Amino acid sequence: MSRRVFDVLVAGLALLLTAPLLALAVVAIRLESGGHPIYRQRRIGRHGRAFDVLKLRTMVAGAESIGAGLAVTEGDPRITRVGALLRRTSLDELPNLVNVLRGEMAIIGPRPTIPVQVQQYTERERGRLAIKPGITGWAQVNGRTTLPWHERIELDLWYIEHRCWRLDLEILRRTVRMVFGGEGLYKGQTGGWTER
């Protein structure tokens, strides 16, 4: 099976199964803070191509022009109550599945980063752009935002060098355990930048 077929099958099935949950989250976001429930942010994908990542909005509308702007920290007051729950459970990432269906992302790969971070990459770090960014990845199941940025990059590069189906299945296994164990996949930062 090709990776693209795998990505489409998994993303399509996941969207089908989580559609009621996604609809409930959209309603909760609207009721709590108004504004559009889907947040778009420009990210850099494979070979440096830019795209808009889709996420459920977890912060107040217009958060980029309030307080710390793009930077976000643990306990940021701009994070809504619904948003805090979505972040903790990683449900805010569900719209990423649409990015996968569009071919902009994969199920497994390095998390996509914002343009300003990519501009600061060394030549070695640009190796993260060799494959499509993913919803989950080796760095996410090995510490995610508890790790310093350079360690996350090294984990992503290690994954790209050792990429195989066996490793992908291990990442999926750990991802399921983290999500259903209440740990979530992502706590909201990449080197201090917002991951709303």
pLDDT at 75: 74
Cβ-contact 64, 70 below 8 angstroms: yes
Give the helix, strand, coil percentages of the chain, each rounded to 5: 55, 15, 35
- Is the residue at 122 inside a domain? yes
Are 102 and 196 spatial neighbours (Cβ–Cβ below 8 Å)?
no
- Angstrom distances, CA of residue 139 to CA of 63, 143, 196: 27, 6, 18
Cα–Cα nearest to 142, from 180, 183, 114, 113: 183
Q: Is residue 190 part of a domain?
A: no
Report the pLDDT value the prediction gives residue 42, as an integer from 0 to 100.
Answer: 96
Interaxial angle between packed helices 81-89 and 3-33, expressed in degrees from 0 to 180 and rounded to the nearest 10: 160
pLDDT at residue number 96: 97
The mean pLDDT values, 10 residues at a time, for the chain of 196 residues are 94 96 95 90 96 94 67 79 90 96 98 94 96 96 84 96 96 89 53 37
Q: How high is the pLDDT of residue 45?
A: 97
State the residue range of the domain holding 12: 3-185
Q: How many domains does the chain have?
A: 1
- What does the pLDDT read at residue 48? 96
CA gap 189, 177 in Å, rounded:
21
Nearest CA to 34 out of 55, 54, 62 is that of 62
In a domain, 128, yes or no: yes
Residue 53 φ then ψ, to 5°: -80, 140
Does residue 191 sit within a domain? Answer: no
Residue 48, amino acid: G
Closest CA to 191 of 100, 72, 104: 72
User: Looking at the domain assignment, is residue 144 inside a domain?
Assistant: yes
Does any domain span residue 89? yes
Residue 25 in any domain: the answer is yes
pLDDT of residue 66: 72
pLDDT in the model for residue 70: 63
Cα first-last separation, the chain: 33
* Closest residue by Cα to residue 124 from 172, 156, 163: 156
In a domain, 192, yes or no: no
